[in-house]
């Protein structure tokens, strides 16, 4: 039986990953460690709260005593680290929070895994492959910086982060790599493109625009809206992470992309059309500092070496996403706080 520590499992991708694992595997025990920041919501996980395979622990990945206790109690053989402050806008105004969680929190997890998996520099690789131990760091394409009109990010693209958020994630990636090279910790790093789908906190582009559009609120678009992102349906991301855990070569980085490049303004107009609203709701606002112009992921490596490819086209994924938010407006209202409304009201007055 696999015993998996999922950090940040009450967030968007983490909660979807937990659902994915519980649906796919019977012989799994999952411990969800989440501090329940504004973007972490236990309402998302109510349907599985009584599942004996699932355990929730409220806590901070920076808490060494708690993390060590959990390793002793559950004897994890797999760690999947989703826990992160993840919103670029917030990292610009509060970078210290991002550096603490995304860098120091990752280092606490690595230290604890090294200790409990009995790894020392002189016995590098001695028992790792036999025991099936794995530390998987969930990263982002934003660590690569920005692209011009041509080209794709590969795993060999130099890291060149442009925001405090991206810099904190790049730093964590380097630390994870260093623990592999120094101590033989069996790690993988995955770098994904923009995720979308159910349970995404409504500060991100797609759920924010759906929420505002449904409520006839201004739909804030940065700059000219021509920033291009590659879009990945969250269930495809979950299946890719599962594939890397099972098949990934220790120490390797794998890019995970959806092969769906779209400009932000095109996404906004698509949602307006689907929801039968008027484009007068679009409110162009001042672009944010250091806003990367284009991201695009080359997922050739994970496809060729591990046999993973995305199963959802953007047309199918966005339709499922819109339907989910329309059918779960109560969820959106529950997680939409006064702080969130105040924060985004600054964008459009």
CATH number of domain containing 187 = 3.40.50.720
Residue length, the chain?
Answer: 349
Q: Identify each DSSP E strand in 101-249 by its residue range.
A: 134-140, 187-192, 194-196, 219-222, 228-233
Average pLDDT over the chain, rounded to an integer: 90
Percentage above 90 pLDDT, the chain: 76
Q: Give me the number of domains the chain comprises.
A: 1
pLDDT over 70 for what percent of the chain? Answer: 91
- Cβ contact 234:197 at 8 Å: yes
Answer whether residue 337 is part of any domain.
no
120: exposed, middle or buried (Cβ count in 10 Å: 0-12, 13-18, 19+): exposed
Confidence at residue 335, expressed as pLDDT on a 0 to 100 scale:
76
Report the alpha-carbon distance of residue 145 to residue 114 in Å, rounded: 31
Name 270's Cβ contacts closer than 8 Å, sequence gap at least 6.
318
Residues 97-132 pLDDT 10s: 889 999 999 999 999 999 999 876 555 554 444 468
Question: What integer pLDDT is reported at residue 90 of this predicted model?
Answer: 76
Which pLDDT value is given to residue 344?
41
Residue 172 clears pLDDT 90, i.e. is over it? yes
> With contact defined as beta carbons under 8 Å apart, do 266 and 274 qualify?
no
Residue 274 lies in a domain: no
Q: Give 255-300 pLDDT, tens digit per residue.
A: 999 989 999 999 999 999 999 999 999 999 988 787 888 989 999 9
In a domain, 224, yes or no: no
Q: Is the pLDDT of residue 158 over 70?
A: yes
For residue 342, what pLDDT is reported? 46
Is pLDDT of 349 > 50? no
Per-residue model confidence (pLDDT) at position 347: 40
pLDDT of 94 reads 83
Extract the tokens encoding 60. 């901070």
Q: Range of 132's domain?
A: 2-200+232-258+292-312
Instruction: Kindly state whether residue 280 falls inside one of the protein's structural domains.
Output: no
Residue tagged active-site, from 165, 183, 199, 295: 165
Does residue 142 carry a catalytic annotation? yes
Look at residue 134 and tell me if it is in a domain: yes
Q: Is residue 76 part of a domain?
A: yes
Question: Would you say residue 17 has pLDDT above 80?
Answer: yes
Q: Please give the average per-residue pLDDT across 5-30, as a whole number.
A: 97
Q: Catalytic: which of 60, 85, 142, 261?
A: 142
Mean pLDDT of 138-164: 93
For 224-259, the pLDDT digits (tens) are 999 999 999 999 999 999 999 999 999 999 999 998
Res. 336: pLDDT tops 80: no
For residue 311, name the pLDDT band (cuts at 50, 70, 90).
very high
Give domain status of residue 332, yes or no: no
Beta strands 219-222 and 282-285: pairing type? parallel
Mind listing the pLDDT tens digit for each residue in 77-101? 999 999 988 667 778 888 888 899 9
Average pLDDT over residues 174-181: 97
| CA contacts within 13 A on the Cβ side of 36 | 10
Lowest mean pLDDT among 82-86, 313-317, 339-343: 339-343
Per-residue model confidence as pLDDT tens digits over 320-330: 999 999 999 88
In a domain, residue 24? The reply is yes
pLDDT reading at 56 higher than 50: yes
pTM, whole model, 2 decimals? 0.90
DSSP 53: T
Catalytic residue among 141, 235, 261, 298: 141
Is 141 annotated in the active site?
yes
Could you give the CA distance from residue 47 to residue 22 in angstroms, rounded to a whole number? 12
């Amino acid at each position: 039986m696999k015993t998996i520590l999922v950090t940040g499992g009450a967030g968007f991708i983490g909660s979807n990953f937990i659902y994915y694992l519980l649906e796919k595997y019977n012989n799994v025990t999952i411990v969800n460690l989440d501090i329940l920041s504004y973007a972490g919501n236990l309402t998302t996980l109510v349907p599985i709260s009584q599942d004996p395979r699932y355990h929730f622990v409220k806590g901070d990945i920076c808490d060494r005593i708690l993390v060590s206790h959990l390793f002793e109690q559950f004897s994890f053989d797999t760690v999947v680290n989703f826990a992160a402050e993840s919103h670029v806008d917030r990292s610009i105004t509060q970078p210290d929070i991002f550096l603490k969680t995304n860098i120091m929190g990752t280092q606490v997890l690595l230290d604890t895994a090294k200790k409990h998996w009995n790894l020392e520099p002189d016995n590098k690789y001695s028992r790792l492959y036999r025991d099936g131990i794995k530390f998987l760091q969930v990263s982002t394409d934003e660590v690569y910086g920005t692209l011009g009109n041509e080209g794709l990010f590969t795993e060999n693209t130099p890291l060149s982060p442009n925001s405090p958020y991206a810099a904190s994630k790049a730093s964590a990636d380097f630390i994870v790599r260093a623990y592999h090279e120094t101590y033989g910790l069996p790690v993988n790093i995955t770098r994904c493109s923009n995720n979308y789908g159910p349970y995404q906190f409504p500060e991100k582009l797609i759920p924010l625009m759906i929420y505002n559009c449904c409520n006839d609120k201004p739909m804030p678009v940065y700059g000219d809206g021509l920033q291009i992102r590659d879009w990945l349906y969250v269930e495809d991301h979950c299946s890719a992470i599962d594939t890397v855990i099972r098949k990934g070569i220790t120490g390797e980085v794998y890019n995970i992309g959806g092969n769906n490049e779209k400009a932000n303004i095109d996404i906004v107009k698509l949602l307006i059309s689907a929801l039968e609203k008027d484009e007068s709701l679009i409110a162009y606002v001042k672009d944010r500092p250091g806003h990367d112009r284009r991201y695009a992921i080359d997922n050739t490596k994970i496809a060729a070496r591990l046999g993973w490819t995305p199963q959802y086209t953007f047309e199918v994924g966005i339709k499922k996403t819109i339907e989910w938010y329309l059918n779960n407006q109560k969820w959106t209202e529950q997680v939409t706080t006064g702080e969130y409304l105040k924060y985004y009201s600054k964008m459009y007055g």
